[in-house]
Structure 1
Amino acid sequence: MIPRTAVKRLSLVLWCALLFSAVEIGHLFRLQILKHETYLAEAERQHKQKIILPPKRGDILDCNGSPLAISAEGLNVYAIPDRIKNRKKTAALLARYLDLSENYISRRISTDRPFVMIRQKVNPLSLRELQEKNLEGIGFVPSSKRYYPRHSLAAQLIGYVGVDEVGLTGIEFSRDSELSGEPGWLVVQRDALGNPYNVLDYPLRRQTNGCHLRLTIEAEFQEIAEDALRRSVVESGAHSGCVVAVNPANGKILALANYPGVDLNTEDNFKLNDFLNLATNLPYEPGSTFKPFSGCALLASKHVTLKDTVFCENGTFTLRDRVIRDVHRYGKLSFRDVIAKSSNIGMAKLIQRSGNEELYRVLRDFGFGSYTGNAFSGEDRGVLPPPTEWSRATKTSLAIGYNLLVTPLQMAMAYAALANGGGLYEPALVEAVFDENGNMRFSFTPRMVRRVLEKGVIVKMTQAMIAVVDSGTGTA
């Protein structure tokens, strides 16, 4: 017979064993049932990695296919901090090859984040030796770096991208959605040492590379325009300038130059105003170059003919307490010669025959005070005050190119309308868009905004403008 004390001890041991088993079963239930998803996700995090596959940005080409902006291959260097065993040694090695401070890299890799980017868009040639070291927790993924083969050519027009290859100014910005493409991603397995390798049945979405843009400008013509502009600005002692060349028949921009320029490959030296497009963002009072448009208002309303004459007061005239002067002392001039010799007095006198609404409507139809279209982001529309805001002197001022603000692009498009017989076109910068496989996504079609005036009026003004260079102020 077993003693009672032994039975009690045996029962105690049994109950302790049962209690321990219950606790262990409860713990296992918590781990495998209640916390199953949590620990499964942790295991996935430790053994799988999702790598983003960045798309290649599309090229920007001139009208002949010559590259103006391309994306060259580069490498992004990243770290998986929990796989780095010797962080101090790793930071020192990375600092040597990446031109970064050791302290900066140490801070980047001393984190509990599962993935950190160390440096982007590094030249692959400079990383060959680093890659051969097979540093634990350090990986490399292909990327691209924007490069501009012609450096400063059409810089303000083309614009530039940030470190993440998102367009910040110019065409790079306005057409970013077409150029940038769509990123993909790849899930890879990591071995016990943390090295990634692909598993065929893991998810994969291939990236879609950006589209290529073929512009309307021609690189050699653009270069000629920029050189002529530079010489003109330097010789005149000016600080800046711009040139716009447009095809009057369809609105294509053939060249758009700004001075001073900026080398697009030196982003570390960019200044705030380097990318100001003077052609679209620097409104000014056009002065005498505006007279053909106010003259068109007079011809359209039949208030004058080319042969009508006006006395130009021998160079000085007072109108409503305002003194108006001509550079030369003219007597009687025909309307044709008022345009040819750019007489302020002759135009100021003749414009009094026009009604305020008549003048405003013609100037507005030529595009002044309005955006030219959607080819240029951030375009200034200038200022053309409505007749309700005019003073007694406004009409006279407008006739000789004052009391309004225009942009060089607006003037170019308005003069193009005179050259083509009266059609005001939207300016066009992009001739065609192609996807990465060469399939055309967009092809340029000219878009006429409106017909400003009947052709007969334009022909008469054209005759007067020819006289400017034959016998007038444009003969120098």
Structure 2
Amino acid sequence: MPENRAHAATGGRIAAGSERNRRAVEWNNDRKAVSRLLIVACITLLWMTAVFGRLGYLQLFLHSEYMARAQRQQQRVIEITPKRGAIYDRNMHPLAMSILVDSAFAVPSELGDQQLAARLISGVLGIPREVLEARFESSHSFVWIARKLPPDKKEAVEALNLKGVYFQKENQRIYPKRGLASHVLGFVDLDEKGLGGIEYELDGQIRGKSEKIIVMADARQRWFDAGEARREPGANVVLTLDEKIQYIAERELAAAIAKTHAMAGTVMVMNPNTGEILGLANWPKFNPNVANEAPAEARMNRAVTALYEPGSTFKLITLAAAFDQGITRPGEVFDCENGAVYVAGHRIRDHKPFGMLTVVDILAQSSDVGAIKIALRLGAPKFYDYIRAFGFGQPTGVDMPGESKGLLRRLDNWSAVSIGSISMGQEVGVTPIQLISAVSAIANGGTLYKPHVVAELRRGGRKLSAEAPLAPSEPRRVIRPETAATLRRLMEGVILHGTGPLARLDGWTVAGKTGSAQKIDPATGRYSRTQLIASFTGFAPISNPAVTILVSLDSPVGQHEGGQVAAPVFKRIAEQVLPYLDVPRDVPIGPRLVQAAYRNRDVSDSSVLEDFTPTDFSEQPDQPPAKSAATNNREGNSPAPPVTVAVDEGGDIQVPDFSGKTMREVMEMCLHLGLEPILVGSSLATNQTPGAGTKVRKGAKVTVQFGTPATKIAKPDRRVRH
């Protein structure tokens, strides 16, 4: 038993030792496993730390660089021309607008045979093959083929069915009236950026925000998606111009250019009571739809940039200053010394010899010597102050680009003879916009308004607040109302018994002043005897002026005096504009027979009225207006002129029935049809020649007489009794 117990104890000890050994081994194994796990965990942590550190570095420090690389590889941003606001006349007739057209672009990496594609596209669009190949080689992702294609060209390119050639809509500026008011509107470049006129002056307001197209591509440069970001459109512009008055001004100016062969010319029509420009025409003119084809001279807005010596029209400023200072009166007599006067030892000759003239006749006969003597009495300082007050020698602030401030030397730089030269319109440079603004101040009673051509800006039916240069300025008084009234009466004398009888209107009183300014001959440096600026500036009616009109012709050939060539243009414009504006006549017209003259014009002639081509007055003499009814009555039994019966000319225009229409309605109907109206009388239309329904050619004259329609009296029914 004891041995067994000892053996059992020994076995227990052995078993316990084995258990301990087993446990020690297991513990060692566990330690090794934990150590390995710790090592792996540490390695993993270090790896993750490095990875996330690198990712963090890339995201935080190199994000923009890699994003830019990705965008360059995966997408292309195409900037599309923004949609510009429309430009309207005062009656909301569109003069400029933007429409959507197609532009063609290519992804060269998709083209395959680029030389074949270039050859095919070249044959359709007329672009040199070498140019297209160079474009395809310049980029793998995007190149423009041709922008703003006409519909037929777009269809032709589309018919080629070339892989890698796509189309994108862009905005294109169009001018539906072509050359009408082109110098006011201006023009834009291929990217719709304003380069002239209102398009340039208000480019920031008219031009909408750029539209960007984002085109996506995969790793193989296959284009599969596009997104478009639109911006706020540009503001619409409403002008003070009247489309019909503008058309009249351009037509008559072109007719005068054709007749006188003048180098250039300007016509302006202004509301003297507000400074609103109703019409502004220049010659040469251009079509803003293809402005790049016109020479720079044709794109020049002479109304605000052309500088010239005003000549005798400046005598109005001389007399305005003298009357306002009270140093003379209309009936005062001056000795004009038979056509010559000495100023500071310099002899200045008149255009013709005059003896004793009243101030009224000095203006009516345009005496240089008389104007010089009045200016000498006024004195240079006062004279200079009034010239500046009327706005000469400084910009008017008109809302059109490129305005010249004119030329007026400081008083300190005047020579002893300057006061004599300036009093008759020499040694001073003015622009048409300055001169018509000054004459408008005389017309409205002595207040100078800032001339402007923009009425308002609108966006989405909401009127925008005016900003410079559109901010209105307060009108300022330059002469007393009494002075202006005296000048208006004297300017009427220019028409009635002076140098401007050809400006006399049928039915309205009119006041004006002729001007014939000599130009400097570049060869001699002296005044030329043949090269002149012929001008006329006036307004009507006298008692309540509705319009001021300026006509200026540069270097007319043949007759070149302002009263000979510019005054008749004033008359033709005024006699169309005044009835269109429903201005009541203030001169009675007696009953008389008016004949309608017709022009022989080939129907196939491309120069038709809707192209704003002139009426051909080149073969028609300018005659003074017919004598008044009172004069005709005094002549007694003078035979009536023969009646010319209008016959059907075989044209394509049917003369409408004007019976009962107002002057404005008749004028609008005639202009719409391309006919030239001759309006006689007042009230409602009672008679017309040719009659309603007659077929005439475009540009034919239609004479319409106005009066009070006769009341129809019912006649008794007279029946024969049997």
Relative to the length of structure 2, the TM-score reads: 0.58
Change (3 A) 1:221 1:138: same
Change (3 A) 1:40 1:278: closer
Matches within 5 A, 1:29-428: 41-112=68-139, 114-128=141-155, 130-131=157-158, 135-190=162-217, 194-198=222-226, 205-428=229-452
**Alpha-carbon deviation of 1:449?**
4.3
The one-letter code matched in structure 1 to 2:186 is G
**Alpha-carbon deviation of 1:445?**
7.7
The one-letter code matched in structure 1 to 2:108 is P
- For the residue of structure 2 that corresponds to 1:58, the secondary structure is coil
What is the rounded CA distance, in whole Å, between the counterparts of 1:462 and 1:358 in structure 2? 22
Decide which structure has the larger Cα Rg and report it: 2
Gaps of 5+ in 1: 1-24
- For the residue of structure 2 that corresponds to 1:314, the secondary structure is helix
- For the residue of structure 1 that corresponds to 2:456, the secondary structure is strand
> 2:398, 2:453 within 8 Å by CA — same for their partners in 1?
no
The one-letter code matched in structure 2 to 1:80 is V
**Alpha-carbon deviation of 1:322?**
2.8
**Alpha-carbon deviation of 1:53?**
4.2
The one-letter code matched in structure 2 to 1:197 is D
Partner of 1:450: 476
Gaps of 5+ in 2: 1-46, 503-722
> 2:81, 2:191 within 8 Å by CA — same for their partners in 1?
no
**Alpha-carbon deviation of 1:256?**
0.7
The more displaced of 362-371 and 77-86 is 77-86
Identity of aligned residues (%): 32
What is the rounded CA distance, in whole Å, between the counterparts of 1:463 and 1:340 in structure 2? 11
- For the residue of structure 1 that corresponds to 2:179, the secondary structure is coil
Partner of 2:659: none
**Alpha-carbon deviation of 1:161?**
1.0
Partner of 1:11: none
The one-letter code matched in structure 2 to 1:142 is K
What is the rounded CA distance, in whole Å, between the counterparts of 1:410 and 1:187 in structure 2? 50
The more displaced of 411-420 and 272-281 is 272-281
**Alpha-carbon deviation of 1:44?**
4.2
Change (3 A) 1:388 1:41: closer
Partner of 2:498: 472
> 1:226, 1:258 within 8 Å by CA — same for their partners in 2?
yes
What is the rounded CA distance, in whole Å, between the counterparts of 2:160 and 2:341 in structure 1? 85
Partner of 2:610: none
What is the rounded CA distance, in whole Å, between the counterparts of 1:53 and 1:319 in structure 2? 66
- For the residue of structure 2 that corresponds to 1:432, the secondary structure is strand
Deviations 1:265-298 (A, max 9, x none): 3345221212111111111111111101011111
> 1:180, 1:209 within 8 Å by CA — same for their partners in 2?
yes
The one-letter code matched in structure 2 to 1:164 is D
- For the residue of structure 2 that corresponds to 1:110, the secondary structure is helix
> 1:240, 1:259 within 8 Å by CA — same for their partners in 2?
yes
Change (3 A) 1:329 1:82: same
**Alpha-carbon deviation of 1:393?**
0.5
> 2:264, 2:282 within 8 Å by CA — same for their partners in 1?
yes
What is the rounded CA distance, in whole Å, between the counterparts of 1:318 and 1:39 in structure 2? 85
**Alpha-carbon deviation of 1:442?**
4.7
Change (3 A) 1:51 1:237: closer
The more displaced of 222-231 and 110-119 is 110-119
> 1:184, 1:208 within 8 Å by CA — same for their partners in 2?
no
Root-mean-square deviation (CA), in Å? 2.6
Change (3 A) 1:41 1:460: closer
The one-letter code matched in structure 2 to 1:253 is I
Q: Which is bigger in relative contact order (C-alpha 8 A, separation at least 6)?
A: 1
Partner of 1:439: 462
**Alpha-carbon deviation of 1:446?**
5.6
What is the rounded CA distance, in whole Å, between the counterparts of 1:209 and 1:401 in structure 2? 48
What is the rounded CA distance, in whole Å, between the counterparts of 2:365 and 2:68 in structure 1? 83
- For the residue of structure 2 that corresponds to 1:265, the secondary structure is helix
Q: How many aligned residue pairs are there?
A: 444
The one-letter code matched in structure 2 to 1:364 is R
Deviations 1:428-457 (A, max 9, x none): 11112122x232225788634421122122
Deviations 1:352-399 (A, max 9, x none): 111211000001000000101041211111111121011111111111
**Alpha-carbon deviation of 1:55?**
2.0
1:460 maps to 2:486: yes
> 2:337, 2:354 within 8 Å by CA — same for their partners in 1?
yes
Deviations 1:194-234 (A, max 9, x none): 233247xxxx6322222221111111111111111112222
What is the rounded CA distance, in whole Å, between the counterparts of 1:274 and 1:189 in structure 2? 45
